[in-house]
Each structure stands twice: as C-alpha cells, then as structure tokens.
Chain A
Amino acid sequence: MKNSEQQMMLDRLADAAREGRISRRSFMSYSMAAGMTATAATGLWTTSAKAQPVSGGTFRVGLHDNNTSDTHDPGTYLSIQQIVLAHTHRAYLTMINTDQTLGGDVALEWEGSSDATTWTFRLKENVVFHDGRGVNADDVIASMNFHRGDDSTSAAKALLADVTDISKTDDYTVVFQLAGPNADLPWLMTDYHLTIQPANDDGSIDWQSGIGCGPYRIVDGSFGVGFQLERHDGWHGEGAYFDAIEYLAINDPNARQVALVSGDVDAVSSIDLKTMALMQRNPDLIIENVPSGSAITMPMHCDTGPFDNVDVRMALKLAMNRDEIVEKIAFGAAVAGNDFHHSPAMPYYPEGLDQLSYDPDRARALLQGAGIDELNVDLSSAESIFSGAVDMCVLYAEQAKAAGININVVREPNDGYYSDVWLRKPFCCVAWGARPTPDVMYTLAYKDDAAWNESRWQNARFNELLLQGKSELDDAKRGEIYSEMATIARDDGGTIIPFFRNFVYARRSNVQNTGALAASWEMDGARAASRWWFEG
C-alpha cells in the first residue's frame, strides 16, 4: 500500500469511528491491517477518532422482557426491564467496566485479607440518594442483609450464603466476614440483585419507594408499560450525559424493531436475529453484537445410564457440529462452546485450549470401544428456552446420526420447564444467564454438592481445584487453575455447551458510545443510560 493510500484508509477509519459506524475491535483490526502498530491504533482511537461526549436529550429505549407483575423488590429481579432499570436508578458496590475489568460504583476501593475470608470495602463519601440523604455503611449493610437471613425470599440468598457477618468500622467502611475463602467477592457485588437502597431505622430497607442512588431518578412509570427518569444531579459517577431517560416496554420483537426504524425510540435492547442482516443494511441503525457469558447447555446426568460412561459423553460431544449450529440457529451471533462453562467474556478465560470439533467417526469409534453399537437417547427441549431451541436439538439429532447416535427430541411444555424438566430429565437443554466469574458459575452448577449440579457430575480433581481457586489472590495462578478445570470439564464433564449467546442490540446512529461495551448484560452492561450520549 502506498503511503498516501494508507493515509486515506486511516482517515476513512477515523471518520467511521467518529461517526460510531465501527466498533473499537474492528477499528483496531482494520488499522493494523492498514499497517499501523497496535499502540498507534489505540492512540488514534482514543485521541482523534472519538468525539467527546455531549450532554443533553431524552434517551428513549425499547426494552424486551417486561412483566406487569414486576416490582422494585431487588430480591425478585429477573426481567430485563427490572435489571436495566436497576442499573439506572440504583447503584451497586462495584461494577463491570466497559473493558470487562472490575471498577467501583458506590465502593471507592476494596481489599481482601491474605486468606480471602475477610473483605473490606471503602465507600465513596459523595454518594447521595435521590431524596438527598447521603449513603453510608448502614445503607449498604441493610441492603446486603435484605438478601440474607432465614426468611429472605431473595433469589440472591445463595450467592451470599457464605457471608457470615457484615459490619462497619466507620460510616464509610464495610467489612464482609466469610465462612470460607472467596477471592471473587468484589466481583459478586456486581450481581444485579445487590443494589443499594436506603436503610430504615429497624435495619430493613426501603425498596418500595424506588429511591436509589443511581444516575437517574424515577419520575413516573409502571412495570410492563414504561418508566420516565431524569438525571440525578448529585450522582457520584462519571457520565449520565442524557437529561432524561424513557424506558418503554416493547415485548414484541417486530414492534421493537419498527419503533427503532421509525425513530420512535433511540435504541432497543434486543433484536430478532432473523432480521439482523436486513437491519444492518439500514444506514440509520447500528447493531451491537457483543459476546456474552450467557450459555446454552445440554446437561447429561452422569449418574444415569448411558451417560455414566465418559466415552458416551465424549461421543455425544463429538457428534455435535457447533459451527453449523452457530450459523443456522444463532445466525452467527454466538461463540461456539468447548464444553467448559467459561466464556471469553469472563475474566481468567483460558486461551489456547483445543476446540472440540465435529468428528462422527471418532464418536462412533468411542461408542464401539464402549461396546455400544447403536445409542438411543431422549433429549428434552422447549421453545421457551430460547428462540430456536427445539430447532437446535433437531439439527443436533441429524448431525449425530452420522455417528450412529439416535437422538429423540422430546418437545416439553414451555410452562414449568424449569420446575418439571430441568434437573429431572437425564438429558435436556438449558439457557443460563451470564455470571460474573468462572468461580460463581462452577460453584453454582458444577460443584459436586451444588443444588443445581445439573449434570450430577462428580470429579475430585475439579472440585479440589475449585476450592483452591477461591482462596487464590494471585491472578496468574488463578488463570492456571481455571485452565486446568476447563480441560477437565471439556474431557470428562457431563455438559455439552453448543454455544455462548451474543447480546445483539441496536441504536440509531445519532446515539454514540465509546465503542467498548460491557459484556455483562444487554445495553452495555445495562448501563447504556449513563454511558452513552447523543451526537452533538
């Protein structure tokens, strides 16, 4: 490439970046292809390419997954409506930054004891609730205790089960005492349930009023319809460029996309993958496609025949053509799984492990070695797991035929799938939400005695490593531990992971962001309201 051509190419890239037509990742790879070094490209991105954020405007967002019966009770947070709203009007101790690292929200800094059983959080002193009251240690303690205790109905109870005591040393210092080591506690504090609410005098919390200490205060609204919010001027964080936020409950994917195309909203939290390609052609829209930690799994009960034989499990893993599933079922908006529940969007991701690939011949050989000529299994699925779940299972069944495996896809009722099928039927299909760290995920669903050990998998070395990882504060060593665990899960585990889903959402081109997006939730880790802005 001639020098002048190269300059023209870079100018074009810079223009594209400024207008937000290109993500940071694509920008970097194109710049490097055009002959720039990585450092220079990063510099160009940060200094010349992106315009400074501009304040103002009302940001209207069409959200998916809204229920009329949702409430402000943080213990029952479940829908996207609740989660996105929580990140807008409430705050957390810590948060996931746009570069997927951990940052402080209400907490300024934190420190663990050398055995990772005591964690001390220092709070920012300038945090105020929407009614003007300052946030102090008592509010944090009450908000955490809401999820603990015998009569708590909170879904986050299990997450804090290891916390034995929460106390304060002064008004802005909170100490968590744990029953066992947990190096991930600061990461756990980003869990969507663990919002900070004002404490009542009796140590309970006021969640009913909807008063929080997040970037925007609720002006009006109701669940299942929508919310109007305005900027909270005393907010402690950076950003909150919009003057006001309007969330609209638009459950129907077509209605959501039409609203975005016609300009009735500025962004939508999820788009239909089937029409993604069509929307990409519209120059007024920008589609964000962010790899996430949300996995689709197919657990096999390792204590039930024929899945109690590791060769059978491996044969079933090898009989799946993941690339075809990613392309045909997820329309390319997914990352193929490697049968360990640790996504590239999570910290400590083990790079360079061999990827399981479609190998029906080896699968057949494994089965023959195990003395099985023809394998017949039932696979339970339901359309409510995710759009295309049943199709995926049928496609898998076709792929597995080449290995002499007959998979009978059983279509279960949508209602009550997670109470009647999951954890009960020996081979089924499951959708998991993202969890912040591999430790949380493995402890929840892979530990030998976990209530949700969905594959009933028992592996001594894996569980030993899991405990070791919890108390290890050295990042390099933890990386090695999670890499070995991933290898064990892939080769011995009872869970097939076809893919990790991407978050696919869209905005109009006059809405800007830095190009780096948090991968914990849709809409930039559910914090688009405080991180994005309108073009000036």
Chain B
Amino acid sequence: MGDILSLIAKRLGLGLITLLVISIIIFFMVELLPGDIAQAVLGQGATEENLAALREQMGLNKPAVVRYLEWLAGAVRLDFGSSVVTGEPVTQAIGDRFINTLFLAAYAAVIAVPFAITLGVLVALLRNTVFDRVANVTTLTAISSPEFFLGYILILFFSVRWGMFPAISSLSPGMSFGELLERTFLPALTLVLVVTAHMMRMTRAAIINLLASPYIEMARLKGTPPWRVIVKHALPNAWAPIINVVALNLAYLITGVVLVEVVFVYPGIGQALVDAVSKRDFPIVQACCLIFAATFILLNLAADVGSILTNPRLRHPK
C-alpha cells in the first residue's frame, strides 16, 4: 500500500510541474495571437483613443512577463484572477459551466462505460458471429463519424422526425432532475456513441488475448460454462488495459465536447473557452486549459493506480 501512496505523491508532484509548463505555453500562445484584447472587446468600431483607455483600464500596458508572473503569484494562492474582459472572478465565470460539463460527462459515462464493457464481454463470448460483426461495424461507424454529424443525425430522428427529445439542451434554473436528464439526453447519447467503440473493442481484444492462455484452457477442460470462463477467469486479468482506455475516454468526455456543446446549445466549458480565446481573455483560457490538463493528469493517475490494484502481481512486487 505504501508503494501506491508514494507513487501517487510522486505522480501528483510531476503533474504540478506539467501544469506549470502548460500554463507558460498557454500564456505565450495567447500573446502570440494577432490583434489584442482591447481591439477584440471594442471591435471594429473602436478608435485609437478608446483602445488606449481600455488597455490602461485592463492593465495591458505592463510587459507580458510581468503579467504572467502576477497571474502565477495569484495562482499558487489558488486565486486564478479575474476575467480581463468582464472583471468577474474566474471561478465565478466558469464555475457553473464546468459543473455543467462534468454533469454531461458523468451522464454519458454512466451510460457508456457499463454499456461498452458489457458489449465487449458479449462480443468476446460470441466472437466471429453475426452479432460480433454487427456490433463492431456499428460502433466503428459511430466513432468514425464526426461528433457534430452524429449529433445532427440524432436530432433529425429523435427531435425533428419523432419529436421524442428536445433539439437544444438549454438549461433553465429550477429545472427538475428528470427534465434535466431528458433535455441532455441527446448530447449524452452522442458522446456515448463516440466513446463506446474504443472501450468495447479494447475489452474484446484484451479478453480474446487471454483466451489462448493455459489457465483458460484448464478452466474449459474442467467444464466451466463459456460465460463463466470469460467473466470469472479472463476479465479480472484483462482489467488493466480496459481501465486505461476507460480513463482516456473519460478525459475525452470532458475535454472533447466543444462540438457537441455547440450543436446542442449546451452551456458547458467548451464554449466558454472558445469565446475566451477569441477575446484573448487570458485568465479564462488559462483556467479552462489547466482544468483540461488536470483532468488528463488525474485520470491517467487513476488508471495507473487502478491497474496496480487489480493486478496482484503489481500489488505485491517481489
């Protein structure tokens, strides 16, 4: 157990360094964008005088390095600054939206992970049958289509033709949980379709890989039924690669939803990030990107810890 704790501590430390490097890269990439923030805020209609006044007000006249260090000094005290454009604290500006994104990701994950793994086990059991082929072709088609296209297909059938679900997932305050689930069903379903194939195929491959092992042969010779061979004997040893793929896909559910948000008008963090980039609103861009980066770091860590915990040989190294 102590090994795992020290692994976690070490990985978290490395993660922090990664975040620092990312924050530097993001800051200077935003700086490199042509045009400046005052211009972006006031638009085509601004005069030089206006721009100068606004730059002064926003503190843009300081050198870039100074502005970065000021931001960093705040960030280590967990104060991520305020939006340069609206003056709103970053946590307030993107807090609700981040929660919305997490909700949608969780909704999709709750459906996608059990569905994909079950399907993976089933196709491993019924490998090379018509069921296996159909499941593979369908999920591969889904993953090969761009998200927005899948979204439009779902909208065409589920809302325009059949009128079962709303075409847009706008949220309003005081919505009941059931209503919320109904409103966000189509974007969640889109995400499910996008991530299922990956997890299902990894489950299938990992299990089939193990089926040639001597202990599986042994189990079969004892007369264990095929479903039991797979669920009880093969699956526990296949967890490590599956957990890794699941973690990657969960990260994707959080960071890769911009297109889905746009298509379904869902107020998540992706749209906030796009707006912030177009306005050169550095603190918001920084906060969104760091959230995304942290998501990847944490989920990767979780995947590694998960693989160790499911594998006794790694848990008790000789």
* A154 to B53 Cα, complex, angstroms: 9
A415 touches B34 (CB 8 A): yes
- Tell me, rounded to whole Å, the shortest Cβ–Cβ distance linking A148 to chain B: 12
Q: Which residues of A contact B286 (CB under 8 A)?
A: none
Contact B48 A258 (CB under 8 A): no
Of B14-22, B138-146, B213-221, B271-279, the segment with at least 4 beta carbons within 8 Å of chain A is B271-279
Q: How far is the CA of A265 from the CA of B265 in the complex (A)?
A: 12
Please report A residues at the B interface, Cβ cutoff 8 Å: 62, 67-71, 76, 78, 150-155, 157-158, 220, 222, 224-226, 228, 246, 248-252, 254-255, 258-259, 261-262, 264-265, 413, 415-416, 418-420, 422, 433, 451
Q: Which of B267-315 contact A (CB under 8 A)?
A: 267, 271-272, 275-276, 278-279, 281, 284
The contact of B271 among A68, A254, A258, by CB within 8 Å, is A68
A70 to B85, CA, bound (A): 8
Q: CA separation between A157 and B49, bound complex, in Å?
A: 9
Instruction: Spell out B's residues near A (CB within 8 Å).
Output: 33-36, 39, 41-50, 53-54, 57, 83, 85-86, 93, 96, 152, 155, 159-160, 163, 166-168, 170-173, 262-265, 267, 271-272, 275-276, 278-279, 281, 284
Are B85 and A153 closer than 8 Å at their CB atoms?
Answer: no
Contact residue among B42, B54, B166, B263 (Cβ-Cβ distance under 8 Å from A264): B166
Q: List 9 A-B contacts (CB under 8 A).
A: A71-B85, A78-B42, A248-B265, A249-B265, A255-B264, A264-B159, A415-B35, A419-B34, A420-B34
A69 x B86 contact (CB < 8 A) = yes
The A interface is mostly helix, strand or loop, or mixed, namely loop
Contact: B35 with A420, CB < 8 Å?
yes
Verify A69–B83 contact, CB threshold 8 A. yes
Contact assessment for A157 and B50 in the assembled complex, using a CB-CB cutoff below 8 Å: yes
| Nearest chain B CB to A59 CB, angstrom units | 15
Contacts of B155 in A (CB 8 A): 258, 262
Q: Which 3 A-B pairs have the closest CB atoms?
A: A416-B35, A416-B34, A68-B275
Give the residues in chain A near B262, CB-CB below 8 Å: 251-252, 255
Q: For residue A246, which residue of chain B has the nearest CB?
A: B172
Q: Which residues of B contact A150 (CB under 8 A)?
A: 53
- 15 further A-B contacts with Cβ under 8 Å, apart from A68-B276, A258-B159, are A69-B279, A71-B86, A152-B50, A157-B49, A158-B47, A225-B170, A248-B170, A252-B262, A259-B167, A261-B167, A262-B166, A265-B168, A418-B43, A418-B44, A420-B34
Q: How far is the CB of B160 from chain A (nearest CB, A)?
A: 5
- Nearest A residue (CB) for B172: A228
Q: Are B39 and A151 in contact (CB under 8 A)?
A: no
A416–B279 CA distance with the chains assembled, in angstroms: 11
CB distance from B165 to the nearest CB of A (A): 10
Chain A's closest residue to B55 (CB) is: A153
Contact A153 B168 (CB under 8 A): no
Contact of A226 among B85, B86, B170, B275 (CB under 8 A): B170
Q: Say whether B152 contacts A254, CB under 8 Å.
A: yes
Q: Using A251-B262, A252-B262, A255-B168 as known contacts, say yes or no to A153 and B275 having CB atoms under 8 A apart.
A: no
Q: Tell me whether B265 and A451 are in contact (CB under 8 A).
A: no
Let me know if A419 and B275 touch, CB within 8 A.
no
Specify which of A224, A228, A255 is in contact with B272 (CB 8 Å cutoff). Answer: A224
- Assembled-state Cα–Cα distance A226/B172 (Å): 9
Query: Which residues of chain B are within 8 angstroms of A225 by Cβ–Cβ distance?
Result: 170-171, 267
A38 to B5, CA, bound (A): 88
Q: Roughly how many angstroms separate A251 CA and B96 CA in the complex, as a whole number?
A: 19
Which residues of chain A are near B171, meaning CB under 8 Å? Answer: 225
A255 touching B265, Cβ below 8 Å: yes
With A69-B83, A249-B265: A155-B45 Cβ-Cβ less than 8 Å? yes
- Known contacts being A69-B281, A220-B173, A416-B34, is A254 close to B50, with CB within 8 Å? no
**A261-B160, A451-B47 are known contacts. Are A415 and B33 too (CB-CB below 8 A)?**
yes
- Determine the residue in chain B with the shortest Cβ distance to A66: B275
Nearest to B165 among chain A residues (CB) is A262
Flag if B276 contacts A69 (CB, 8 Å): yes
Provide the residues of chain A in CB contact with B172, threshold 8 Å. 226, 228, 246
Could you say which of A62, A71, A78 contacts B45, with CB atoms under 8 Å apart?
Answer: A78
